[in-house]
Amino acid sequence: MSPLLSGRPSRLIGVAVGLALIALAVYASITLGMVTISWQSLTDAYSRFDGSNQQLVIRDVRVPRALIAAAVGTSLGMSGALIQALTRNPLADVGILGINNGASLFVVAAVSLLSVSSLSQYVWFAFAGAAVSGIFVYWLGSIGRNGLTPVKITLAGAAIGALASSFTHTLLLLNERTMQEVLFWLAGSVEGRKLELLVQVLPYLAIGWVVALIVAGPLHTLTLGEDVATGLGQRTVLVKLVTGLVIVVLAGSSVSVAGPILFVGLVTPHIARHLVGSNTRWVVLYSAMLGAILLLAADLAARFVAMPKEVPIGVMTALIGTPFFLYTARKGNFRK
């Protein structure tokens, strides 16, 4: 199927529309909920702060929640596009390949074994867990004939993810205190997250976003085949290494702030390719915008599904992503 936005001007217009939709989604996230907030109240919370309950809710709850959802969605969308291009696997995603589970295991182990109790300290353990699980998945998927293939890396990811998940649950069962501290985090949510958490990881996210856009060009050449890329003078090992590091940084930062949120990185690259074609540079950019929009919309929907209670945002993304995963797997559209 040909892309909907085939020319550069059309794609640039699409970027403008995407940014406008993100701004609209952020505004909706701030103003809609159990209590509806007006534009005047929002501006007064920063220009005429008086310490009222509504203004405190805006500054300490609604705005951080919206900004964190946008940042995490952007990161998950980008990491999904990169990992699908790197592995040439349309089913690849940091959740499905076990990277999220590895990050979660290291965080739970830090809480259980090292008595880490601050969300601000989770980031380093999430980075380490994402890196270790990613290395193991890539290594397992490369063993045997033909090297790395889409099917082998998907199976390797499922195996590492299941192993990490079983270790995580074992630690939770052995330590009740750990379960109480991290259970809300493991559900995957942006509810109750403080802006300080986003500020802490924002430098890593920003670097990851910039490098992702830079490496997308060489990565697109690599998708044409390693022999072709080498013939064009590309240092393929360096491209793979940088791409892998960016995926770890984006995934680790996202998990440390919002917990393991699945399927955003799976769904958005497919929508992006439908819109702009297979050019990895545009796919990564559009996946970033679509990820932010999707996660903001999922978070907004989570507030109204079971009001006055809220459904974890990870449940909402799973409701969207699971049928999409099954549909994609059924099509069997793997690139060899």
Residue 147 tokens read as: 């090297």
User: pLDDT at position 336, please?
Assistant: 42
| Predicted pLDDT of residue 314 | 80
Q: Which is the CATH superfamily of the domain at 8-331?
A: ABC transporter involved in vitamin B12 uptake, BtuC (1.10.3470.10)
- pLDDT, residue 335, reads 47
* Phi, psi for 30 (deg, rounded to 5): -75, -40
What is the crossing angle of helices 280-305 and 195-223, to 10°? 140
Residue among 216, 215, 213, 234 nearest 225 (CA): 234
CA-CA distance, 119 to 149, in Å (whole number)?
37
Rg from Cα positions in the chain: 20
pLDDT for 211 equals 97
Residues 21 and 14: beta-carbon distance below 8 Å:
no
Q: Give me the tens of pLDDT residue by residue for the chain, a chain 336 residues long.
A: 568 887 888 999 999 999 999 999 999 999 998 888 999 999 999 998 888 888 999 999 999 999 999 999 999 999 999 999 988 888 788 887 888 899 889 988 988 888 887 767 778 888 889 889 988 888 888 887 766 676 787 788 889 999 999 999 898 888 776 676 677 777 788 888 889 889 989 999 999 999 999 999 999 988 887 788 888 788 888 988 899 899 989 998 998 888 888 889 999 999 999 999 989 999 999 999 999 999 999 999 988 887 777 888 888 888 877 787 777 667 655 444
Integer Cα distance of 208 and 302 in angstroms: 28
Which contacts (CB < 8 Å, 24+ apart) does range 46-53 have? none
9: buried, middle or exposed (CB in 10 Å: 19+, 13-18, 0-12)? Answer: exposed
Predicted local confidence at residue 31, as pLDDT: 93
Per-residue confidence (pLDDT) for residue 333, from 0 to 100: 53
Q: For residue 85, give the 3-state DSSP assignment.
A: helix
Which of 188, 189, 198, 182 has the alpha carbon at shortest distance from 106? 182
CB 211 within 8 A of CB 243: no
Are the CB atoms for 211 and 148 separated by under 8 Å? Answer: no
CB atoms within 10 A of CB 241: 12
Q: Is 210 exposed, middle or buried (0-12, 13-18, 19+ CB in 10 A)?
A: exposed
Angle formed by the axes of helices 63-87 and 195-223, nearest 10°: 20
